[in-house]
């Protein structure tokens, strides 16, 4: 599969977006069905939503316990916590709440499976076949998994069904292909010695994933770890634990031995901290906020100095030069920021526009935001669902107030939508200055900030003046400008005349405080392997 943009994958399904929806809106295919009361927008700054009835997905929730040693089990304490529907704030299910004892049980199972189980000793080809069977099973259950993902997360059903679950499948097939291609080297050395390197699985991998892309982050973490022959303890985000448990069940149906993948649901300060500081975890991977990443790194260092990879926050510049196609770039900039309700670490959240086209770009961006359809993510034509929970919802509204208080110009949006759930109006600010919080902090919500620049040297300096360095976008028809920016911007990914292009083979990660290490591609395998040098003398060698 060639690399493709998420916007292209979704363009057909969202091309019919309009400002109205309701009882006559088409229902998506099974497993969706029942409708209930919805929301209404009355704010003069936004015309993107209307009265809606919510669709209740017809999905059975069968897995709410921890997965330890191949079995679903209750928390040691017997505690559970509610996981919510972001559209309403109502409880979907109660999930086992993990703590240190549950982490201990999961790590013990993973250690036994690594030290004495079949997975690391299995032929690489057989591991490949299990991962391929798993990908086939996920593909077969595409709609069910997508519906559960959308229900638990608030993301668009069509986004999950047509882009994210297929990308999940693609990632596991990609890593299945790597399983039997991991090998060392024969190294020439001075003297009569035979030198070789072995690439060995690192052991028990602790993994902590976020709530904004639960399935994809599962694939980014679990895929390479399994391909390399490791065993895993995965801590899911407390907001979105359901799909990881469902796909893990399918992975065991595909032939994964017990104890190889263990999943504990729970909170960061308890389950997450216990995993990060566990003395029998050999490697740690975390995706989330930069501040939490600091804590994870500190806990790992203070325990057994386990190696850590971090994929953290971003405040990515989206740079538009005067010769760019304005209509096209306005649409890309809109998607780059508002995709997934703005809950994307690489969102193009600092939109730098050349002063000669700034006014036109701003007016068209405002018009596009006003047309954005916000509502039930299970309905066709809807472009934006709710924020993940009340905490994130309130955080976004605080940043919007900060922007107003700092004298940025609120062009549209700026408030909540409806009286139920966690919906935020698509919001656009102009006259944004670099020292404003909305231009410095990762908002993680549907808030576009549009800044003006004069020349290339200025925008390079301003784009790099951030603690983050995850991604950047550059829009120009000048080859020299593109070549300069791709080298000058201190970011792990630079998209030229495109944005949000993801592929299993393309590495992803950040400079500066956006993280350590890379996800996806061949680089991700390095995170889960130890390199061992083996040296032995040669007596009367035929050649050196």
Q: Which residues are catalytic?
A: 311
Q: Angle at Cα 337 formed by Cα 333 and Cα 340, nearest 5°? A: 130
Interatomic CA distance for residues 105 and 257, integer angstroms = 17
Helix (H) / strand (E) element for 430: namely: strand 427-430
Q: In sequence order, which ranges of 284-341 are alpha helices (DSSP H)?
A: 290-302, 326-338
| Residue 532: how many other CB atoms lie within 10 Å | 11
C-alpha–C-alpha distance, residues 69 and 257, integer Å = 9
430 beta partners:
409
Rounded Cα distance, 21 and 517, in Å? 44
Q: Which of 343, 323, 339 is nearest to 331 (CA)?
A: 339
The two most distant CA atoms of the chain are separated, in Å, by 88
Instruction: Say if CB 151 and CB 85 are below 8 A apart.
Output: yes
Within 13 Å of residue 59, how many CA atoms lie on the same side as its CB? 27
E strand or H helix that includes residue 275: helix 273-276
Asked if residues 172 and 138 have their Cβ atoms less than 8 Å apart, the reply is yes
| Dist CA 35 CA 27 (whole Å) | 9
Closest to 247 (Cα-Cα) out of 79, 236, 83: 236
CA distance 101 to 114: 20
Distance CA 364, CA 34 (A): 37
CA dihedral 432→438→442→446, nearest 10 degrees, is: -90
């Amino acid at each position: 599969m060639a690399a493709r943009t998420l916007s292209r994958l979704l363009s057909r399904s969202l091309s019919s977006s309009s400002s109205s929806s309701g009882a006559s809106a088409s229902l998506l295919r099974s497993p969706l069905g029942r409708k209930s009361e919805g929301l209404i927008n009355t704010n003069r700054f936004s015309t993107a939503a209307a009265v809606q009835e919510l669709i209740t997905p017809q999905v059975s929730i069968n897995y709410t316990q921890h997965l330890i040693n191949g079995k679903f089990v209750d928390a040691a304490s017997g505690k559970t916590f509610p996981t919510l529907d972001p559209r309403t704030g109502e409880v979907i299910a109660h999930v086992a709440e993990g703590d240190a004892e549950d982490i201990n049980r999961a790590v013990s199972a993973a250690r036994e499976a690594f030290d004495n189980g079949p997975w690391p000793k299995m032929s690489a080809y057989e591991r490949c076949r299990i991962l391929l069977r798993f990908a086939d099973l996920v593909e077969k259950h595409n709609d069910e998994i997508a519906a559960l993902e959308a229900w638990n997360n608030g993301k668009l059903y069509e986004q999950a069904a047509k882009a994210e679950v297929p990308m999940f499948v693609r990632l596991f097939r990609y890593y299945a292909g790597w399983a039997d291609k991991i090998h060392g080297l024969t190294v020439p050395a001075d003297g009569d010695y035979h030198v070789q390197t072995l690439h060995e699985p690192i052991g028990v991998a602790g993994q902590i994933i976020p709530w904004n892309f639960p399935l994809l982050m599962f694939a980014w973490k679990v895929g390479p770890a399994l391909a390399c022959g490791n065993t895993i303890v995965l801590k899911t985000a407390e907001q979105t634990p359901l799909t990881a448990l469902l796909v893990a069940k399918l992975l065991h149906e595909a032939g994964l031995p017990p104890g190889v993948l263990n999943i504990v649901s729970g909170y960061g300060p308890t389950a997450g901290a216990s995993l990060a500081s566990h003395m029998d975890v050999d490697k740690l991977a975390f995706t989330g906020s930069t501040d939490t990443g600091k804590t994870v790194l500190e806990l790992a260092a203070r325990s057994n100095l386990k190696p850590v990879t971090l994929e953290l926050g971003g405040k990515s510049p989206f740079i538009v030069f005067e010769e760019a196609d304005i209509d096209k770039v306005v649409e890309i900039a809109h998607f780059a920021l508002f995709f997934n309700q703005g809950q994307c670490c690489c969102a193009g959240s600092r939109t730098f526009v050349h002063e000669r086209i700034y006014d036109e770009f701003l007016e068209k961006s405002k018009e596009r935001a006003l047309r954005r359809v916000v509502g039930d993510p299970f309905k066709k034509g809807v472009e934006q669902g709710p924020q993940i929970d009340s905490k994130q919802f309130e955080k976004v509204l605080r940043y919007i107030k900060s922007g107003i208080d700092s004298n940025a110009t609120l062009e549209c949006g700026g408030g909540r939508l409806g009286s139920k759930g966690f919906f935020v109006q698509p919001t656009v600010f102009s006259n944004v200055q670099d020292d404003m919080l909305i231009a410095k902090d990762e908002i993680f919500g549907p808030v576009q900030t549009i800044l003006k620049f004069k020349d290339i040297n200025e925008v390079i300096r301003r784009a790099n003046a951030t603690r983050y360095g995850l991604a950047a976008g550059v829009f120009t028809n000048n080859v020299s400008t593109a070549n300069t920016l791709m080298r000058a911007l201190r970011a792990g990914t630079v998209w030229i005349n495109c944005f949000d292009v993801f592929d299993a083979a393309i590495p992803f990660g950040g400079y500066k405080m956006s993280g350590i290490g890379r996800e996806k591609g061949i680089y991700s395998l390095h995170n889960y392997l130890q390199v061992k040098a083996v040296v032995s003398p040669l007596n009367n060698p035929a050649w050196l």
